[in-house]
Structure 1
Amino acid sequence: MRQYETLYILRPDLETEKTQELVERFKGVVTNHEGELGEVNEWGKRRLAYEIDDYREGYYVLMKYQAATDFTKELERLFKISDDVLRYLTLHIEE
């Protein structure tokens, strides 16, 4: 298993419950695919460097985890089909 870091940005106009539901959903995806979830840092609302879909802010979440190499494709697929995710970036962390 490899170590990864994924930073994703959610829409800022979501209700608090919906935001927490999405964070829990993506954490659950890691554990359901036999990954090991590390720390999850919710940075909260921050100003974007440029507008994305007419939004000037976004809700940032940094998630660290260990998973199989093919898992990141599944996670990114879920990010793509979710209308509530503005952007995401996954990095492989060298040990």
Structure 2
Amino acid sequence: MRKYETIFILHPSFDEEAVTASIEKFKGVIENGGGTIDNVDLWGKRRLAYEIDKVNEGTYVLVNFQAEPELPKELDRIFRITDGVIRHIIVNLEK
């Protein structure tokens, strides 16, 4: 298993309950795909470096996890089709 880090930005209109539900959804994708979660860090609402689709801020979430190389591809696919995810990135920490 390899170590990965993902940061995703949720739409600022999400309330605390919706943010928690989104985090649990992505944690479930990782765990159901055979991965293990090392750390989940909710950074909260922050201003974006630049405007995206007329939005100036978003809720940032950092997740560190371990998984097989196929899992980040599936996680990326789910990030892309999930409403409310403004941006995301998945980084392999072992290089």
Shorter-chain TM-score bucket reads: over 0.9
In structure 2, what is the Cα distance between the partners aligned to 1:30 and 1:83?
18
In structure 2, what is the Cα distance between the partners aligned to 1:85 and 1:53?
12
Q: TM-score with structure 1 length normalisation? A: 0.96
Q: Where does residue 91 of structure 1 map in the other structure?
A: 91
Query: Offset of 1:83 from its aligned partner?
Result: 1.6
Q: Where does residue 43 of structure 2 map in the other structure?
A: 43
Q: Where does residue 17 of structure 1 map in the other structure?
A: 17
When the two structures are aligned, how many residues end up with a matched partner? 95
Q: TM-score with structure 2 length normalisation? A: 0.96
SS at match of 2:12: coil
In structure 2, what is the Cα distance between the partners aligned to 1:36 and 1:83?
24
Structure 2: 5+ residue runs without aligned partners? none
Q: Deviations over 1:40-93 (max 9, x none)?
A: 000000000001111100100000000010111100000000121000011101
SS at match of 1:8: strand
SS at match of 2:18: helix
In structure 1, what is the Cα distance between the partners aligned to 2:94 and 2:78?
25
Q: Which amino acid aligns with 2:29?
A: V
SS at match of 1:34: coil
Q: Where does residue 64 of structure 1 map in the other structure?
A: 64
Q: Where does residue 33 of structure 2 map in the other structure?
A: 33
Structure 1: 5+ residue runs without aligned partners? none
In structure 1, what is the Cα distance between the partners aligned to 2:83 and 2:3?
27
In structure 1, what is the Cα distance between the partners aligned to 2:38 and 2:53?
31
